[in-house]
Chain A
Amino acid sequence: MTVQTTDPLPGGGGPAEPGDAAADGTADDGPGRPARNGARRASASQARLVWWSFRRHKLAMAGAVVTVFFLLVVIFAEFLAPFSTSKLDSDYTYAPPQVPKFSFSEGLYVEGYAWEQDEDLRIHYTPDPEQKISLEFFVRGEEYELFGLIPMDRHLLGPSDPDAMVYLLGSDRVGRDQLSRLIHATRISLSVGLVGVVLAFALGVVLGGISGYFGGRTDTVIQRFIEFVMAVPTLPLWLGMTAAIPVEIGPVRRYFLISLILSLLAWTTLAREVRGRFLMLRQEDFVTSAWLDGASRKGVMFRHMLPSFTSHLIAALTLSIPGVILAETALSWLGLGMRPPVVSLGVLMNDATSVRVIDQAPWLLLPGLVVVVVVLALNFVGDGLRDAADPYRT
């Protein structure tokens, strides 16, 4: 549907420009939102009003920027990461982050490591200004397939020498690049969250929709079932179900099974949200009126009812992603979710479980920070959407 701006009224003496409706209705005498007058607002669709209202929410906008950044990481993980998750150099275990430097003669480079062992057999690394490992943008490196389709070997940033290693965020127990692993883990964890929520969404919209639209006995049965599912303690359920996944199963199938198990958390709440909206809308005059206007049952549902709460649904959806991400992280951390060689944020955090490691290589805690940032950002976006979802209120 295209939105066109209407011409202003011809000539003077026309009726007053319709402004904001909030002033009307005899009950409300208090000042509502002042009118933003004019044809632009008058012919703005609801999606546009939601966007205008969302834009005013500063925290939500910040959250949206962060969320978009992480989505890009998910999509272009192989390109952004200098290496794959398994490339290692066992000479450098728990090596600290290297700081990129720039000089006109050398271009962009990092300094190599000088190392010594103390009496506890711990290795201490120091930057060695003599060794210079040059870095390049869009460098040729390991081969990969972008989106699983396009064969490529370019990486955003990496050592000019394809066999060298750089550790911009330090290395782990066996000398793998923490930055690359973090990027790949972010992709796995976030996409598990998204896939899990999409599965939950499908289940929730279908069951909630049936429940809310038909009502009556169907509704009662579905509601009792939802209550039953909600009453089952989630953690033991997950533990049991993930433990039941055969070990020899491939990583891809394991990934989808885990997503499916996690979606069992989110669907019940979504189904209730959908049902509640349907029940509420069924009472609305405009739905009755759509039916009187000759709209078919399908038309009433998909042209009138569903669009009226898509923004609420998107908000609910956004708010349920963090729960799934946290659940995946927790399961993987316990060793029951994703398993090496697949890396997720939970798997990475599993590496940082002892005080000794944290003392020696604090950069291994970065996955935890990523989880916190992602979850907060999604919550801010969800809150902003929820507030903006109903642009006609207040």
Chain B
Amino acid sequence: MADPTAPTAPTAPTAPAGSGGDAETPLLEIRGLRMDYPIRHGMFGRHIGTVRAVTGVDLTIRPGETLGLVGESGCGKTTLGRCIVRTLRPTAGTIRYHARDGRVVDLAALGQRELRRYQREVRLVFQDPFSSLNPRMTLLEIIGDPLRNNGLAQGKELERRVGEMLELVGLPPGYMRRYPHAFSGGERQRVNIARALIMRPRLVVADEPVSALDVSVRASILNLLRDLQEELDLTYLFISHDLSVVENICDRVAVMYLGNIVELAGTDALYRGPRHPYTEALLSAVPRADPRLRGSGRRIRLSDDLPDPAAPPPGCAFHTRCHYAKAETCAAPGAGPVLLPPPDPSGRGGTAAGPAATPHLAACHFAGDLSLTGV
């Protein structure tokens, strides 16, 4: 079902404005990625079905950018992130990573031993600031563990580097002998970030890094992530369900629905002129923090029932909730629509020629015909 030759985000011919990276070589190329979870049941764990969490995703992450990954819970965005950092082994597909030493490796195919060296360059920031820090370890141990495990630093040198890192994320280095229980959610999230960055990674997968935080603390973590990106030349895959946060921090946004990317575009293009009905519905559902905007714009409401990922609907997976679906096209059995630039790019000015020359891709049969509203 996942055609590896499917046209997907070819690297843009012109360099993205302002980014220091080399736009010619992407950092990470995901092709036809699939992740199935078996459903086991009964006394001896019979295999009775498969949940298709990620169903053939193609995605390219460019160096220096922040790529947002949004979608409702259960859409597979977390699974995709976990496949990239390889706490999960994908069922099929490739994750080609352009390593610092110039080599290109397929992370999806590597065994545990070979994986180790690349796991230093691709790091994960967790959502839950409470369960992600071992309560029995001091910050020095938590943040220094990656260095110690990889034999990169010890003793005084380790302390010095952890101290530096703490300072970088805005915590006093003197806190390094304290235990996580002494810190608030926001401070713990800083520790989490420090742990991810101590290996000087190139790609950071941030899985809902601010969702569990108080509103007033959220802003400081977002600003911190932004500052660190500039300072350390980082690339982020920013996974979130909060569209306003994603708009604030991301260069490009990929929208996921039921294991597939349904739309991919530069942030402004996607928010101003979505091309997929699902994106339109998501945007319209976000409450706007201004009472004067109440009742303005189109109100699109999706039905509550997300299809069962173990038995996805035939054709376009979104057709069961889509307001524009036409039975004969969208519900036709077989593979759903693939990510394509809309057939008529000239019809709507501006979007296709965004600042980063990011092609606007949407997986909808009618992407070229529909006139959808953004924010």
A associates with B? yes
Q: A290 contacts which chain B residues (CB < 8 A)?
A: 134, 145
Q: Which residues on the A side are within 8 Å of B183 (C-beta)?
A: 18, 21
Which residues of B sit under 8 angstroms from A49, Cβ to Cβ?
A: 181
Check B182–A292 contact: CB distance below 8 A.
Answer: no
Q: Is the CB of B136 within 8 A of A46?
A: yes
| Interface pair B136/A45, CB less than 8 Å apart | yes
Inter-subunit contact A25/B185 (CB<8 Å): yes
A6 within 8 A of B: yes
Report yes or no: A286 in contact with B182, Cβ–Cβ below 8 A. Answer: no
Q: Is B213 an interface residue (CB 8 A)?
A: yes
Q: Which residues of B contact A69 (CB under 8 A)?
A: none
- Are B185 and A43 within 8 A (Cβ)? no
Of B26-34, B124-132, B235-243, B259-267, the segment with at least 4 beta carbons within 8 Å of chain A is: B124-132
Across-interface contacts of B119 in A (CB, < 8 A): 292, 294
- Is B184 a contact partner of A44 (Cβ separation < 8 A)? no
Contacting residues of chain A (1-60) with chain B, CB-CB under 8 angstroms: 3-7, 9, 14-15, 18-21, 23-26, 39, 41-46, 49
Interface string of B163-182 (1 = CB under 8 A from A): 00000000110111111111
Once the chains bind, are A6 and B212 in contact (CB under 8 Å)? no
Verify A18–B182 contact, CB threshold 8 A.
yes
Collect the chain B residues with CB atoms within 8 Å of residue A304's CB: 134
Assess the B149–A6 pair: CB atoms within 8 A: no
User: Are A21 and B181 CB-contacts (below 8 A) given A216-B45, A292-B85?
Assistant: yes
Query: Would you call B146 and A6 a contact (CB within 8 A)?
Result: no
Q: How far is the CA of A1 from the CA of B178 in the complex (A)?
A: 13
**Chain A residue nearest to B198 in the complex (CB):** A293
CB-defined contacts of B44 to chain A, threshold 8 Å: 220
Q: Within the complex, which residue of B87, B135, B214 is in contact with A26, where a contact is CB–CB below 8 Å? A: B214
How far is A217 from B126 in the complex, measured between Cα atoms in Å?
30
Known contacts A289-B195, A292-B119, A293-B195; is-contact A21 B45 (Cβ 8 Å): no
Nearest chain B CB to A3 CB, angstrom units: 7
Q: Is B186 an interface residue (CB 8 A)?
A: yes
Query: Within 8 Å of chain A (Cβ to Cβ): is B60?
Result: no
CA distance in complex: A178, B184 (Å): 60
- Flag if A43 contacts B177 (CB, 8 Å): yes
B150 at the interface (CB under 8 A from A): yes
The answer to whether B360 has its CB under 8 Å from any CB of chain A is no
1/0 per residue, CB under 8 A from A, across B143-169: the answer is: 001100110000000000000000000
Q: Which residues of A contact B131 (CB under 8 A)?
A: 284-286
Contact A25:B149 (CB < 8 A) given known A288-B87, A392-B181? no
User: For B132, what are the chain A residues with a Cβ–Cβ distance below 8 Å?
Assistant: 285-286, 289
Please report B residues at the A interface, Cβ cutoff 8 Å.
43-45, 85, 87, 116, 119-120, 123-124, 126-136, 138, 145-146, 149-150, 171-172, 174-188, 195, 212-214
Which residues of A are interface residues toward B (Cβ below 8 A)?
A: 3-7, 9, 14-15, 18-21, 23-26, 39, 41-46, 49, 216-217, 220, 224, 284-286, 288-296, 299, 304, 307-308, 391-392
